[in-house]
Amino acid sequence: MFIQVMPNGSMLWRLRYRFEGKQKLLALGAYPEVSLKRAREKRFEARTLLSEGKDPSFEKQEEKKKRSAEAANTFEIVARKWHEYSKDKHGWSQKYAKTIMTRLEADVFNRMGSLPINSINAVKMFEVLQDIEKRGVYEITRRVKQMCGQIFRYAITKGLVEYDATSGIDKKALSSKPVVHQVSIEPSELPQFLKDLYRNDARMYPTTRYAIEFILHTFVRTTELIKAKWSEFDFESATWTIPANRMKMKKIHIVPLSTQVLGILEDLKRYNGNYEWVFASATRPLDHMSDNAILKALERMGYRGRMTGHGFRSLAMTTILEKLEYPFDVVDAQLAHAKRTSLGAAYDRAKYLTQRRKMMQDWSNYIESITVGGDNVIEVKFG
């Protein structure tokens, strides 16, 4: 080992050695940046490689290539390549693609984006997910884990990693999203609710009031209601067919329409009959009612924390089971709660349709009876 003085005055540590009969020089670094102690350590490392039958110069070049490859394949770089690939392959919308990248930038890149993707193991991935989970955003934690898994699997196909670091994380290691039961009034409170609705002290737009009345009778999901189009309704057969892309379980859903609901629709035509949307926005009629319109209206009625749009589903199920005594499976089918079996989705859009049609009419008749009764609820026997 010696120091070589270059024409410009710089001094370099060199190690002269022989490999397979050939004399070679190995650069150990510049002096004084590399001290004598460190130069001796490098000499020892080189001799160890020689004793193993390896060429120190070749191994140094391979290590340099490896570091270069790692720098070019950090998690963030690979994730962005996956994002572009997936966006094109799956035809993501611009909004969805932006949401995915925003989530990665906010929750992942700042934690491990600069790390070589092949250096990230399950322990590091779990630490990142735990940091997100501590904020109480369990659904976001689940989605980030899912996205990262897709990125690792993309990297596997490119030969950048050998395994998916998310696959080694036990599902039970992360908290599940707490079950939040949607608030709903009790069946006994329904007469007063109807009184408040029709009195309309909250001064709701007619379309908003009709929307609340409509969702009470049909107990569909709020997202299914606000995007209802006139073209989905068949007045002759008294049915509303909700397309699969608007249903939670991605299956077409049939809603039998009672005579009372048909009456509501006829009244709505006076306001929105010339628009695409049944529940057109009162201020922007070319668009549908907003997601929060029903919730805000319920709050103005004095039902903040007591009733939500989704609460009408709970209210209907409880009341129909208790008051009208319909079988659970019939009510559940109308709620479009798809069950899963080993054969896939067991939900059938026409299942119990005859029974459901009768049930929906009985349910509307019940609502009408307690409305007519006012403070003195009229009990009506159905069936």
> Which of 65, 337, 339, 340 is an active site residue?
337
Quick: pLDDT tens for 160-182.
899 999 988 877 777 665 544 56
Cα separations in angstroms, 374 against 103, 121, 198, 203, 307 = 51, 66, 11, 20, 20
**Domain 187-373 class, CATH top level:** mainly alpha
* Whether 253 is catalytic: no
Residue 200, Cβ density class (10 Å: 0-12 exposed, 13-18 middle, ≥19 buried): middle
The topology under which CATH files domain 2-69 is Double Stranded RNA Binding Domain (3.30.160)
Rounded distance, CA 223 to CA 216, Å? 14
CATH superfamily of the 75-173 domain: Tyrosine recombinase, N-terminal domain (1.10.150.130)
* Whether 135 is catalytic: no
* Whether 95 is catalytic: no
* Whether 303 is catalytic: no
337 vs 149, residue with greater confidence: 149
The pTM (predicted TM-score) of the whole model is 0.52
Going from N- to C-terminal start, the domains of the chain cover: 2-69, 75-173, 187-373
Quick: pLDDT tens for 38-70.
888 889 888 888 888 888 777 777 677 666 655
* Whether 337 is catalytic: yes
- Give me the amino acid identity at 119: S
> Which of 64, 66, 248, 269 is an active site residue?
248
Beta-carbon contacts of residue 157 (< 8 Å; ≥ 6 apart)? none
Q: Which two tokens mark 173?
A: 């290691």
Average pLDDT, the chain: 85
> Which of 217, 221, 288, 357 is an active site residue?
221
* Whether 288 is catalytic: no
